Amino acid sequence: MRLGLVIGEAAQGLRRNVAMVISVILVTFISLTFVGAAILLQMQIGQMKGYWYDRAQVAVYLCTSSDTGGNCAQAEATKDQIAAVRAQLDSTTLKPYVKHYDFETHAEAYANFKKQFADSPLASFTKPSMLNESFRVNLVNPNQAAILIDSLKGLPGVQDVEDQRGYLDQIFAVLNAASYTAIGLAALMLVAAVLLIATTIRLSAFSRRREIGIMRLVGASNRFIQTPFILEGVFAALIGSVLAGGAIVAIVQFFVKGYLGNTLGQTTTLVGTQDAWIVVPVLVVLGAVLASLSAGAAISRYLKV
Amino acid sequence: MIRFDTVSKSYPGTSRPALNGVNLEILKGEFVFLVGASGSGKSSFLRLILKEEFPTKGQIHVLGQHVNRLPSRKVPYFRRNLGVVFQDFRLLPQKTVFDNVAFTLQVIGKSRGFIQEAVPDVLKMVGLAGKSGRYPHELSGGEQQRVAIARAIVNKPAILLADEPTGNLDPATSAGIMTLLERINLGGTTVVMATHDAGIVDQMQRRVIELIGGQIVRDERRGGYQTQTIPIQRLEAEQAIGVQP
C-alpha cells in the first residue's frame, strides 16, 4: 500500500517532468560513458604493463665495426670484452638480479631484423655485421634495470645498455594522458549531471508544493515525503547509467575486440568483454549514488520543520 | 492540553514581537475563539502550536509534549494528533473529495481497509455523503471547507486548529460550518479558532481570547467579539503599540 503510493508518486513526477528527466538521462549517460572509458583505459594500461614488463629486457649492445658511440671506437667488440661482460653478468653482485640472459649473435640479430622488416627496403641493404651483437637480460625485478645499466655501461666493447621499458613508458604515458582526459571530462559532466538532477527534483518538488505542504501538515514522515523525489532522480540516473554500461560493452565488443583486435592482431593483449562487465556495475552504482545524494540534498530544503 | 508559559515570538528584521509574553492554558474539550486585528499574533499562535515556528522565549506544552524540546524527526508524529483548517481550504485540485480526504490517511500509512471505512464515515459526518467523487472546483466554498474539515478530522485528532475558516464564506454558509465545528467539539475535540467574524463569536458565547500587538488583553469564559468589561487593559495595550483607539 505505502510502497505502491510512493512509487506512484515517483512515476507521476517523472511523467510531469519528461523533458528534464530526458536531459538527466542523457547527461548521466554521457558522463558515465566517459567514466567507464577512463576505467577501461586504466585496465588496458594495467594489462599491458603486466604483459610487457615481463617480456621487456635490458639489452646490452656490443660494439660493431661501424659504431662510434659509447665505448666503441669503430672496432668490433673482442672475444675478451664479450667474456668480460658475461663474467660481470655472472658475478655475485649482479647474479641475484638477473633471471636469465641470452646472447644474440650477428646472425640471430639479422634473422630477427629480416623477420621484422621483411617488407621494408631497409632489409635488402642491411648486412649482419651492421647489427649489434647483444646480451638480452631478463631481470628478476624489471624495476631494477638501473643497477645493470650502471655496472655494464662503462665496460669496454659495450656500445649501450638499454632498458626496453623506456619505449613502453612512452606508450603508457600517452594512454595515461588519454585516461586522465577522459576522467577530467567525466568529472565536469558529472558535476553538470548532479546539478541537473538537483534542479529537476527542485522543479518537481515545486510543482507538488501543495501536496508537500499538506503532507507536512497532516504528519507524513520526512522519509515518506522525500522518497518519491529521490526515486525519481535515481530512476532517471539509472536509465542513463545502464545506457552508459551498454555503450561501454558495445565499445569493447565492436571497437576494441572488433577493430583493434583485427588491426593489432596478437601483438598485445586488449581488454575484453569480461572487463567491460566489471565496469558496468561500477557505473550503475555510481549513477544511483550520485543521483540519490543530489536529489536528497535538493529535496531536504522542503522538509525543514 | 495546550499551555503557553510566557511565550514570545519575534521574527527576524522586526523589532516588535508577534507574540509577547503570552500565558494561557486551553483545556481538553474547550472551544476557544482567538480574536484580534490582523497582525495581532493569531496566526503565529496557531503556528507555534503546530511547531511550524519555534518560540523565541518561553515554553509550550501541547498534548503533554514539551514542544520546544520535540526533535524534528518526531514532529510529523506529533502533528498527527492535530487537525488544521485554513481560510483558503488548501485542497488538492486534481484529486476528488474522497481522494483529498484519503490522501491524509495514505501519507501517514493507514491501510486501504481503514481508509475505505473511515473516509465515507467522515464525509457523511460533514454532510458530503453524496459528493465523494466530485472535484473541489465543482463544489461551493462551503462544501470545499467541509472537505477541508473532513480531512482535518478524519484521523480523529485531539485538537482542531482553524485559522479563519469562515473568512471566505457568506454568513449562512458560515453558520453551517460553525454548527459542524460545534458538533466536532461536542465529540470531545478541542477546537481553537482564529476569526474576525464578530457575529459568530457573539452568537456562540464561548471562551474568547483577544490579542492585541501580540499580548493577551482579554480571556473571557463566555465572551463576545467586543467587550466593555476590561477597557483599561485594552487601552494600555493599544497605546503600547501606538494604535489610536
pLDDT tens digits for range A254-292: 988 888 888 876 666 788 888 899 999 999 999 999 999
Count of the separate structural domains present in chain A? 2
Q: Could A305 and B51 be called an inter-chain contact, meaning their C-beta atoms sit closer than 8 Å?
A: yes
Judge whether A24 and A204 are in contact, CB under 8 Å. Answer: no
Please list the alpha-helical segments (H only) found in B96-197: 97-107, 112-125, 141-153, 171-186
CB contact under 8 A, B51 and A211: no
A115 and A36 both lie in a single domain: no
Residues from chain B that touch A210, judged by Cβ atoms under 8 A, are: 90, 92
Output the pLDDT for position B237.
67
Q: Which residues of A touch B84 (CB under 8 A)?
A: 217
B70 to chain A, closest Cα gap in Å: 11
How close does chain B come to A215, measured CA to CA in Å? 7
Q: Is residue A245 part of a domain?
A: yes
> What kind and span of H or E run contains A276?
helix A273-300
Q: Which CATH number fits domain B1-79+206-245: 3.40.50.300, 3.30.1330.10, 3.40.50.150, 3.30.413.10?
A: 3.40.50.300
pLDDT band at B72 (very low <50, low <70, confident <90, very high): confident
Asked whether the predicted pLDDT for residue A81 surpasses 60, the reply is: yes
B240 burial class (0-12, 13-18, 19+ CB within 10 angstroms)?
A: middle
Is B60 strand, coil or helix? strand
CATH number for the domain harbouring residue A87: 3.30.70.3040
**Which residue of chain A comes nearest to B94, CA vs CA?**
A211
The structural domains of chain B, with segments of one domain joined by +, span 1-79+206-245
Confidence check on the interface: ipTM exceeds 0.90, yes or no: no
Any B CB within 8 A of A3 CB: no
Same domain, A261 and A284: yes
Q: Are residues A17 and A72 in the same domain?
A: no
**pLDDT, tens digit (0-9, with 9 covering 90-100), for A129-166:** 888 888 888 888 877 888 888 888 888 888 888 888 88
**Cβ partners under 8 Å of residue A77, min gap 6:** A62, A63, A64, A133, A157, A158
Which residues make Cβ contacts (< 8 Å) with residue A273, sequence separation at least 6? Answer: A249, A252, A253, A257
Mark yes or no for CB contact A305/B78 under 8 Å: no
Instruction: Quote the strand ranges of A85-178, DSSP E.
Output: 98-104, 134-139, 158-163
Contact A305 B75 (CB under 8 A): yes
Same domain for A178 and A284, yes or no, is yes
Contacts of residue A191, Cβ cutoff 8 Å, sequence gap at least 6: none
Q: Which three cell numbers stand for residue B73?
A: 524527526
| Domain stop point among A163, A187, A203 | A163
- What are the backbone dihedrals phi and psi of residue B60, each rounded to the nearest 5 degrees, phi first? -125, 130
CB within 8 Å of A271: residues ≥ 6 apart = A40, A43, A44, A47, A252, A256
